[in-house]
Amino acid sequence: MARVVVSLKIFPADIDVNLDALKEKIRSALPSYASIYKFEEEPIAFGLVALIAHVVLPEDLSGGLDEVEKRIQEISDVSDIQTVMVRRI
């Protein structure tokens, strides 16, 4: 079964958000079929740092990315999410 890696840019709600704690919240919020490949941090402006989460999903799962985005958006420390890239592995 093929898989895809989705890169999501996740913006914290405030510059004071603990990014390590946010990473753990994101990890625990994912559905069972999704997993984190890695996180990167990207400085935005004025002390705000966005997380780039590389999430591995099964390719043949319909609506899988929507569920992942919905669960991450429900985290109180998350302000916005952008899909940066989707690629097959």
Write out pLDDT tens, residues 47-59. Answer: 899 999 999 999 8
**Dist. CA 27–CA 88, nearest whole Å:** 21
- Could you say which DSSP state residue 30 is in? S
Write out pLDDT tens, residues 7-30. Answer: 999 999 999 999 999 999 999 999
Structural fold of domain 3-88:
Alpha-Beta Plaits (3.30.70)
Residue count of the chain: 89
Average pLDDT over residues 27-45: 95
Burial of 7: CB neighbours in 10 Å, binned 0-12, 13-18, 19+? middle
Query: In this model, does residue 1 exceed pLDDT 80?
Result: no
- Residue 68's pLDDT band (boundaries 50, 70, 90)? very high
Query: In this model, does residue 6 exceed pLDDT 90?
Result: yes
**Dist. CA 68–CA 46, nearest whole Å:** 28
Percent of the chain with pLDDT over 70: 100
